Structure 1
Amino acid sequence: MSIAYPTADLKKELQHLNAAEIAALCLRMARFKKENKELLTYLLFKADDPEAFVQQYKEEMDKQFKQLPGKSFHAVKTLRKIALLMNNQIKYSGLETVKVELLLHFCHNYIEQVYYHSSYKPLHNVFYRFAEKTKAAIQKMQEDLQYDYGNLYNEMLQYAEEEIHWFEKKSLLL
């Protein structure tokens, strides 16, 4: 049975290792789990420029949305897959601005790309769920950022209400 030590203990132990030993440990961890490798990739190559990271991931998300199937059931499965990948990227960055920008972009792509004239409820719920997640993320931000992103969010809701016949923004407004 394997027991994981607390982070504080790990930190103390890592301080006793030299750079080569730490690098070897990191590479070994990266081999065992895809998420570890993705996190290490983010930290080494993308963490220093969050704006470029967001832009690059938005482009990737755009490609995924363009390949969205027309059938409602398959579209929901694909949307959930896109959301899972996006949530991993958000988790790697740990920045609220990255989270809000990617969530807003997801919602905007939904409005643009999804065939939402369907009466399939799970397809509708995806948009509502991500609009709520975006609202909650904005409310956790600093006041000046809340104002800026709040305006973008409310504009997105207005656009959604104009485009999607079943959508009502009342409960989602900031």
Structure 2
Amino acid sequence: MKAVSVKEIRQELKDLSPTEIQNICLRLSRFKKENKELLTYLLFESHDEAGYIESVKNHINESFEIINTDSYYYIRKSVRKILRNVKKYIRYSQKKETEVELLLYFCKKLKTFKPTINKSTQLQNMYLRQLNLAKKQLANLHEDLQYDFNLVIEELEA
């Protein structure tokens, strides 16, 4: 079965009643955890972006606390998993401010992580890539936000 384009889906959704759309959304939420997470964000958390950011930061903190520090292999594996989740949460929000704030918070947690990331080239590269990505997205933000985030970036680069 070949999936149809978003344009065709949009057109078809226009023809459906609200009850039918509700049933489709509920059915969609049963199939994949990510679909359910996205619906949760859209229905319950999208109106309070600051609260959403705080909950993601708490999730990042918890994830960093349970990292197995026996070897750098396990640390890299866990950090990649945390980053994958952060990117997923950023995709749900689709707001540049949220993306920059979460990426900078991830970088801050990674930089202060013990044992230090300086002994692993892969972790250093991951840190630098995310910092550069945050800098790139920073150009699209309002000047006041750019100033505030630039202070954080300078602190992270020091």
Between stretches 143-152 and 95-104, larger displacement belongs to 143-152
Match of 2:11 in 1: 12
Match of 2:152 in 1: 152
Distance in 1 of aligned mates of 2:53 and 2:24: 29
Distance in 2 of aligned mates of 1:115 and 1:139: 33
Match of 1:97 in 2: 97
Identity of matched residues, %? 33
Task: Give the CA deviation at 1:117.
Answer: 5.9
Report the aligned-residue RMSD.
1.5
Q: Give ranges in structure 2 of 5+ residues lacking alignment.
A: none
Between stretches 125-134 and 50-59, larger displacement belongs to 125-134
Q: Assess if the C-alpha contact under 8 Å between 2:108 and 2:156 holds in 1.
A: yes
Task: Give the CA deviation at 1:68.
Answer: 1.7
Classify 1:105/1:60 alpha carbon distance in 2 versus 1 (closer, same or farther; 3 Å): same
Per-residue CA deviations over 1:87-125 (Å, capped at 9, x if unaligned) read: 000000000111011111101111222412663321222
Give the 3-state SS of the residue equivalent to 2:112 in structure 1. Answer: helix
Match of 1:60 in 2: 59
For normalisation by structure 2, the TM-score amounts to 0.91
Q: Determine if the alignment matches structure 1 residue 143 to structure 2 residue 143.
A: yes
Task: Give the CA deviation at 1:37.
Answer: 1.3
Distance in 2 of aligned mates of 1:82 and 1:51: 20
Task: Give the CA deviation at 1:32.
Answer: 1.5
Q: Give ranges in structure 1 of 5+ residues lacking alignment.
A: 159-174
For normalisation by structure 1, the TM-score amounts to 0.83
Q: Determine if the alignment matches structure 1 residue 37 to structure 2 residue 24.
A: no
Distance in 1 of aligned mates of 2:117 and 2:137: 28
Match of 2:115 in 1: 115
Q: Assess if the C-alpha contact under 8 Å between 1:103 and 1:134 holds in 2.
A: yes
Distance in 2 of aligned mates of 1:20 and 1:132: 45
Q: Assess if the C-alpha contact under 8 Å between 2:117 and 2:123 holds in 1.
A: no
Equivalent pairs counted in the alignment come to 157
What stretches of structure 1 move > 4 A for 4+ residues in a row? none
The letter for the 1-side match of 2:64 is F
